[in-house]
Structure formats: structure tokens, C-alpha cells
Amino acid sequence: MSEFKIVGKPIPRDDAWAKVTGELKYADDFSLPGMLYAKVLRSKYPAAKIISINTAKAEKLNGVRAVLTAKDVPHNETVTRFGQSSEVGKGFEGLYRVLADKKVRFMGEAVALVAADTEEIAEKALDLIEVNYETLPGVFDPVEAMKPGAYLVGENNSNIIGQFGCSQGDIIKGFAEADIIIEDTYKVPFVDHAYLETEGGIAWIDDYGVINIRVGSQVIEHFRDVADVLGLSHNKVRYIGTMMGGGFGGKEDITVEAYLALLTWKTKKPVRLFYTREESILCHSKRHPFVMKYKVGAKKDGKLVALNAELISDAGAYPYLSPWVNLYATVNAAGPYCIPNVKVRTYCVLTNNTFTSANRGFGAPQPNVVYESLMDELAHKLNISPLEIRRRNCLTTGKSLSTTGQVFKTYVALPEVAEKAWEALGELAKCEDKNRKVGRGLAIGLMSYGRMTFLHDSSRCYVRLESDGSVLIRSGIPDLGGGQVSLLCQIVAEELGIPMSKIKIYYSDTALTPLAGTTTATRQTYMSGNATLKAARKIRKRIISKAAELLNVNPDKLDIIEEKVIVKYNQSQYLPLVEVIKACNTAGIELFCEVQFNAPFTIVPDLSNIRGMTFPDFTFGAQAVEVAVDTETGQVEILKLITCYDVGKAINPLSVEGQMEGGSIYGMGYALMEEVIIEKGITMTPSFSEYIIPTAADVPDVKAILVESGGGLGPYGAKGIGEPACSIIAPAILNAIYDAIGVRIKNLPATPEKIIRALKKEYFEK
């Protein structure tokens, strides 16, 4: 199709009006008669033995309907999955424990559940549960936890739960050829998703004995995991996913669902459970902290010859998605560069900290900080411009990823995006104040979209054209706020030539909508977009062929525009769409279908040396920033922030820009202010006055530049953008700080204090 009607237009999203008017019902905006209120008793200690739990007093409290501990959970220990249906083997699926049993592994771990008539009673009941702990030493640093003889967090004889590697060439030879070698260690902290809607939902048992869970979740396929916990058949648990108030990977693991299911199962009543903000920060997943030891070697002309990286990540107390995240960090560790000799080793280690799992970027933002800082350092040392050094080394079409050797068959928008971003900075800001120094930084990167190919990913969609020309879509797609649902409507509107207003979509329901897979891994535009396109095109074809018959023209001469099947180049010759639908219905032609779209499938790689295709495709981007640093206070102000990505095709430019702008600020928080401080297992920042994210007053007007190569695997050549958008801004900012004041921050976040300590060494050392 050459000319688009609605694809590529900045149209309002399908869900926009319901959101501005306050009509939309999020997970917590719904209640049922007789609903009980649940609360979770959480461990007071990061590491302790549970000697005994006495729930008798709590049970006796008036209004308490259930008190559950590990012994009440039919299958308290299962494995962590995130919706995959293929077998991936032991390396990935770790222990998922519903309630702490015998031992607690992190502060905030769920120990007992209460359901009561009111929230106040439930809270009181928590106070009445007596848990006898015997504290244990615990281990809080992944590097310590790796050492032989370290305190063991779990039941296995090592805290290391995953090891991954990639290599190509020969690094010894590579470094020997290098004219310059840089070695350094970088650290990044725990980060919270900080979506404004905390985790929560409501569950009830319907007339047929099915447990219904209405919840904000990125992975409704967890209905299977919840059924396994209860020992029920999978079709006895139903997820009804709501529009989420943000997800960013934090609603990718099971949050409240197993608790809700257990409580509603025991009490036979509807149950509501919502986390407070403190609870959310304390005990839902975090982004992995990493300690990253890098060594890179280059020739005098800046050409990279070798890279050696050792990454150690803190998985926290349970595995969740740590192995996957670490696999991705490994694949991403050499960035978008051609390096002949590469070796990467990644270790994923349990500690008694809050567990870590998916967080927007899924293991990419962490190594990106290092390799992009090192590229900048090389540029400075070799006196090459930041843009030029990237030009000389970046991947281009037909080249392969330096870690796994995966070949890029479609257009690689490097160095194009870097050039555009750098140029867009324009003139350097003038600065009168002698205590304010201005500087610029650049970073480039790549990030996959779509799940790992050995997960054998698929998405399904159902589309039905009604007799009045309206359309009904059913897709299991969860929407975390990115406009995933609206996108499907737009595709159908395009293909069937109808306005968005004539489309009704039902989404995110495991009983009634075909499963579309998870809203994770920046996969929905690609996966569900393609499934929807496939379904819409099937119906389109049937309409067109019927119309061709009626109009007596060749089908390729026809298009559907504004609810008319028209003869192209002779728009006066047409049939109203409803007429054609009528004719199809009379002839018994099916104007509905359910289809499945499959991603490319590969086998599980050798994890010690990952080679070949592991992801369907990648998105390439660059970010450029200009900062002003106050050399007396250490405060950093971002003056300009440019984000430039090859998005393939911007199906809805407003949504794509939204991801790029929002992603930039998400990453700016990572660079400058965000950190969940966990000291000896104790979270020190359990509120929004302690866990600081940027406010409107802190941000620049992000400028998004869209490159549309059409080279993506998604519908109309689209690529994914959600996660890539946030994954390289942090190093761009660090590089700009260096440019401004000559200080390189190697330990995020780059707070004013860290900057001043580096700038005023003489003052602080005295």
C-alpha cells in the first residue's frame, strides 16, 4: 500500500477521551458487593529464619475472614515464567515462592495474607500475627555473594544463578594490537519503575467456579502460574487485564495475583488488594544494579580492536527474570560497534536485597552506560570528536553484532541517527556565569524489540466486521499506557477503510480474547501489530474480492477508503462498504477471523557462548544532550535533549514521540537522581520524597527526531521503540558532564554531591 489513510498520522488515541474525562476504570476503580480487603504481612528482616508463626489472635479478630501462611498454599513453590509456551530449560526458570517458608530472604518478603471486612481490620490483624524470627547474617553485595563460603541466600550451594558468555576473535591478540587501552569499573544502582499506579487488583469466583482476577498486569499469561499455585486446571483461572497506570516492566512478574486468588479461593468472597506506595517500593521488583568491569582497546585512529567485559548483577533474593535480563545485558555488552575481538562474561547473583527483574531496557541501560562512557573517553584521549569515533566504529547494514555474531539484514540507521542528533543540538549555549560550565554529550545504541527467538513467541488476534460496517477486535494485548490497544485499532482502521470511532476493541482477557502474549520486550507493535494486520488483511481481501465481483473490476484496482470500496483512480466508481458486507453475508462469506503471527524460532543457545540469532531485530538510536553544570554546587541542568531513533515506521507519530520523550526523561532520572538505596537489605527510600524522579520543573523540552527507514519487522515496516527510547540517555548525560567540567562519573546517579567531590578534591580530602 503506497498511501496511508490513518497510519502515520498523529491521531488521538482510542483511549484518550476516557482518560481525560476520568471515565476509565483502572484496577482500583472497581468494586463488588461484599468485597473483602486484603493486606500482606511482610518480613521485618532481610535474612532470618522463621521459627514460628502464630495467627490465632489475628483469626479471632472480629471481621477477619482469612489468615494464610505458606502451609495454606497448595503449591507454594513453583517456577518463574513469563508467558512462554516453549521449553527453555533449567537455566532460566527459577524458584517462585508465594509466601516465605522457614526462611525469609529479603525485607518485605510476604509472610502471611489477611482478608477482612475493612482495610482497617486487615491492618489490625497484621499487627496480631506473631512471627518469631531468628536473624541471619545475610549477604548484600553480589561481589561478596559470589565468593566461596558466602552466606547462602537460597537453598542451593551457590548464590550464582546464571552465567552467560559471548566471544568472538581473540582478545589477547586484540589487546596486543591496541595503541590505547582503557580499563575501568562502573556501578549502577537499584531503580524503581515508579509508575504512578501501584500494583493491585480484585478477584472473585464466578458462577462457574472460575477465579477471576481483574488486575493491572503486563503478562496475563500468568493465569497459568496462578492456577499452578492453587493446583487448578489452567482454565479455572481467568485474568481480566485493566488499562495500567504505567508498567515499565514492573508489572511483568506476578504481583498481587497469587495472593488474591488464594484469598478469594479460601473465603469464596471477592477480595481487593492494592499495594501502598511504600509497599511497592519495598517489595516489587527493581532494575538490576551491576558492577561492570570493562577493558577496551583501540588503534590510534580510534578503531576498536578488543573489548573484554565482566558484568556482575544483583538479582536480589529470588530469580524472577534475572537470567533473561542478564542474557540481554550480555548480548548488548559491546553496543552497536564492530569489534573484532570480544569477550563478555556475566554473572547473576542472589543477595538478600529486594529482588530485581524487568525494568524498561531489560539489561541494556546498564552496560550502555559503560561502553558509551568509554567511547567518549577514547574520543577525548585520541582527540577525535564524539561523533567521529562512533562513525568509525559503528555497525552498518550487513555487519554483525560483535557479541553474538547475529547479522543485520535490514537497514542499520548508524551513523545516520548519531549525525542527526548531534547536529540538532545547534549552537552551543552561551553562559555568562563563570560558575556554570556548558558541555555536550552523545551516545548511540541498539536494542532488540521482540522476545528472545528461542522463546518461540506468537500473538493472536480476532477481527470481525459487523453488518453495519463497525468492527470488533479481540486481542489479549495488555496496555500499560503506551497505546498498545489503540495501535491495533489504527491498523484495522487503515486496512478496512473505516474511522477509529467505528472500532470497538476488547483486550487483555484470558478467557475471551485470543492470547496476544506479553506487553514486554517492546514486542506488541511488532507481534500483535502483525497479528492484527494479518487478520484485517484476510477480511479486507474477502471484501475486496466480493466488491470486485460486484463492480466487475480486477481486485487490485480496488481500495477501501472512508467506508467505500472504490476503484482507484476513478473514485466516482464505488460501493458503500455496508453494501459489500451485505453481499458477503448473503453469500456466507466469513467476515471474521482469528489468526496467529509467529516470530522467527531458534533453539536455546549455548549460554556460555551465545552465538547467532537471539532476537528478531534491533532498533538503533542516538541521543545528544547539552548540560550546564554549576561548578560550585554540582547541580546539573539539562539544557537540550535530542533523541533520534529509526522507528521503521511511526504508525502513530504522537505515540512514538511520546515514548521517545518519556523514555528520555526516564533515563534522565537514572542518570541524575534515581536510586533505591538499600543498606544491608533495608530500603532507605520507600516513598516519593525519598525515591526522587524528575518533575516538570526539572526537564528540558525533549526534541524527538524520527527516522523512518521502513526496515522493521512490524506492520508497515515499524520497529519497536518503548524500551530502546530510554536506554542510552544516561551515558549521553555523563558524557556531557565530562565535556563541561572534566569529571567522569562512574557510579550512578550523578548527584551534585558526587560531582562536587570530584571537582573539589582538595576541599573534601582535607
Query: What residues from 2 to 41 belong to the interface with ligand FES (CB under 6 A)?
Result: none
| Crossing angle of the two packed helices 322-332 and 365-382, in degrees rounded to 10 | 20
Q: How far is the CB of 481 from ligand FES (least distance, A)?
A: 5
Give 144's Cβ-side CA count (13 Å radius): 14
Beta carbon of residue 656, minimum distance to other proteins (angstroms, whole number): 10
Task: Give me the least distance between CB of 478 and ligand FES, in Å please.
Answer: 15
Q: 619 with 647: CB under 8 angstroms?
A: yes
Report the alpha-carbon angle 165-171-173, nearest 5.
Answer: 160
Residue 666's binding partner among other proteins, ligand FES, none (Cβ under 5 to 8 angstroms by kind) is other proteins
CA dist list (Å): 312 to 188, 329, 447? 11, 10, 20
What's the closest the beta carbon of residue 597 comes to other proteins, in angstroms? 25
Q: Which three cell numbers stand for residue 89?
A: 530449560
AA identity, residue 709: S
Residues 496-535 that bind ligand FES (CB under 6 A): none
Nearer to ligand FES, 246 or 499 (CB): 246
Identity of the amino acid at 130: E
159 binds, among ligand FES, other proteins, none (CB under 5 to 8 A by kind): none
The amino acid present at 9, given as its one-letter code, is K
Q: Compare residues 86 and 276 and give the one whose CB is closer to ligand FES.
A: 276
Between 99 and 721, CB nearer to ligand FES: 721
Shortest distance (Å) from residue 689 CB to other proteins: 5
Residue 247 in the binding site for ligand FES (CB under 6 A): no
Q: Residue 352 is placed in which grid cell? A: 538478600
- The residue at minimum Cβ distance from ligand FES is 196
Which set of grid coordinates corresponds to residue 536? Answer: 484485517
Judge whether 516 and 701 are in contact, CB under 8 Å.
no
What three-state secondary structure class fits 131?
strand
Residue type at 53 in one-letter notation = I
Question: Closest CB to other proteins among 174 and 245?
Answer: 245
Determine phi and psi for 302, rounding to 5 degrees: 90, -5
- Give which of ligand FES, other proteins, none residue 598 binds (C-beta under 5 to 8 Å, depending on kind): none
Partner that binds at residue 708, options ligand FES, other proteins, none, CB closer than 5 to 8 Å by kind: none
In the complex, minimum distance from the CB of residue 686 to other proteins, in angstroms, rounded to a whole number? 10
| Nearest approach, Cβ of residue 63 and other proteins (Å) | 11
* Per-residue contact string for residues 167-196; x = within reach of ligand FES by CB under 6 A: -----------------------------x
658, interface contact from ligand FES, other proteins, none, CB < 5-8 Å by kind: other proteins
| Alpha-carbon gap, residue 447 to 443, rounded angstroms | 13
694 forms part of the interface with ligand FES (CB under 6 A): no
Give the one entry of other proteins, ligand FES, none that residue 673 binds, where binding means its C-beta sits below a cut-off of 5 to 8 angstroms depending on kind: other proteins
57 binds, options ligand FES, other proteins, none, Cβ within 5 to 8 A by partner type:
none
| E-assigned strand segments in 209-303 | 211-215, 237-241, 271-274, 290-298
The Cα 43–Cα 107 span in angstroms is: 5
Pick from 465, 525, 443: nearest CA to 491 = 525
Of 365 and 481, nearer to ligand FES (C-beta) is 481
Q: Which is nearer to ligand FES, 250 or 363 (CB)?
A: 250
Among 169, 246, 340, 653, binds ligand FES (CB under 6 A): 246
Is residue 365 within 8 A of residue 292, CB to CB? The reply is no
Q: Residue 601 contacts by C-beta under 8 Å, 6 or more apart in sequence?
A: 86, 453, 454, 456
The order of strands in the sheet holding 636-646 is 436-449, 617-630, 636-646, 703-707
User: Which option in ligand FES, other proteins, none does residue 597 bind, with CB closer than 5 to 8 A by kind?
Assistant: none
Query: Quick one: 199 or 457, whose CB is closer to ligand FES?
Result: 199
757 binds, among other proteins, ligand FES, none (CB under 5 to 8 A by kind): other proteins
Q: Nearest approach, Cβ of 645 to other proteins (angstroms)? A: 14
Shortest separation between residue 670's beta carbon and other proteins, angstroms: 12
Q: How far is the CB of 660 from ligand FES (least distance, A)?
A: 15
Determine contact, residues 404/331, Cβ cutoff 8 Å.
yes
DSSP code string of 132-167: EEEE------HHHHHSTTPPPSSSSS-SEEEEEEEE
Separation between Cα atoms, residue 663 and residue 364, nearest integer Å: 13
Q: Is 481 one of the binding residues for ligand FES (CB under 6 A)?
A: yes
Choice between 15 and 225, CB closer to ligand FES: 15
User: Of 138 and 658, which CB lies nearer to ligand FES in the complex structure?
Assistant: 658
Number of H helices, E strands in the chain: 19, 30
Residues in contact with ligand FES, total (CB under 6 A)?
3
Binding site for ligand FES (CB under 6 A): 196, 246, 481
